[in-house]
Amino acid sequence: MRVTSQDGRRPAVELHFHLLHAVDDGPSTMAESLELAQLAVEQGTGTVVATPHVRPDFVDDVWELPGRVAELRAALAAEGVPLTVLCGGEMGHTMVGRLGQPELELLAQGPVGARWLLVEAPFEAIGEDFHAATAELRDRGFGVLIAHPERSADAAVDGATGLRRELAAGSLAQVNALSLTGQHGFEARRAGLLLAEQGLAAVVASDAHGPTRPPALLAAECKLAASPAGPDIAKRLAYSGPRQLLARGMVERVPVTA
Ligand SMILES: [Fe+2]
C-alpha cells in the first residue's frame, strides 16, 4: 500500500494508539489490528507507538508486550501495510511504584537523556496521588506526557488546576483527536479546544481503540485549524509536535505557572 502524503508532508506519528489485539479494550483480533493500522496509513501516518493500558485490569506484565509488537510487525509486513510500530504503553499512575526501571524503560519513548512516558489522566480530578506518581517518574529520569487531560474532571470542573500544576512541573499534555471531533462529548471537546488555544497542549493523538474509535488525526487537525487555535497550532499539535517528541524526546517545557 502506498503511504498517503498530506500536502507533501512526511508521514505522521501517532503517540497514543491501542493497536495490539486482545491485551486491553482495544482491538480484539489481529484482523481488527490490521484494519486499524491500514486506516492510520490511509490518513498519512507512518509510525504508531502501540500504547495498551498498563494497569491492573489490563496489562500488568509489560514483558509480554515486545512479543506482541513483533507478532504485529510480522503481520503488517505480510499484508504489505507500511507502518512502523513501536512498543509503548499508556500507564495508569498507580502502576508507577510497581514497575522497576527496566519495565519503565520498555514503555518509554525518545532518545537517551530525554526519555518520556505516557501516563493516563484520571477521569476524576488530578489529585495528590497523581502528582506524586509523576514526581517519582521525573526522579527516576523520565518526562511525562499526560494522556487526554481534557477528559478529566480536572479540566471540566476545576479549570485544569491539576494539569497546570503538572505542566509547571515539566509534564506535557496530549489531547485526544476524538475529543476535538466531539466523539467524547461536549465537555471534552470544549476543554480540548481550550487547552490547544491556550497553548497548554503539546500534541494530539488518536487514542484509537477500534471501529468505533478509529484514527482521527486528520479530522482533529481540521477541527483545530478552523477553531480559534488556528492552522499553525493545528499543524504543530497533530503533526510536527508528535514527530519531534518521538525524535528528540521531552526537552521542551511549557511556561505555565501552577
Ligand atoms: Fe488510551
Q: What would the pLDDT profile of 160-196 be if each residue is shown by its tens digit?
A: 899 999 999 999 999 999 999 999 999 999 999 999 9
Q: Cα of 205 to ligand 1 centre, how many Å?
A: 9
User: What fold is seen in the domain 12-248?
Assistant: TIM Barrel (3.20.20)
Q: Cα of 211 to ligand 1 centre, how many Å?
A: 15
User: What pLDDT is stored for residue 257 in this prediction?
Assistant: 55
pLDDT digits (tens, 9 = 90+) for 17-57: 999 999 999 999 999 999 999 999 999 999 999 999 999 99
Q: Cα of 93 to ligand 1 centre, how many Å?
A: 13
Q: Cα of 114 to ligand 1 centre, how many Å?
A: 22
The mean pLDDT of 94-105, rounded to a whole number, is: 96
Mean pLDDT (the chain) is 92
Q: Cα of 52 to ligand 1 centre, how many Å?
A: 7
Q: Cα of 239 to ligand 1 centre, how many Å?
A: 19
Q: Cα of 179 to ligand 1 centre, how many Å?
A: 12
Which tops the pLDDT comparison, 157 or 212? 212
Q: What does the alpha-carbon distance between residue 159 and residue 153 come to, in Å, rounded to a whole number?
A: 9
pLDDT digits (tens, 9 = 90+) for 101-120: 999 999 999 999 999 999 99
Q: Cα of 51 to ligand 1 centre, how many Å?
A: 7
pLDDT digits (tens, 9 = 90+) for 220-236: 999 999 999 999 999 99
Residues with C-beta atoms within 5 A of ion ligand 1: 90, 207
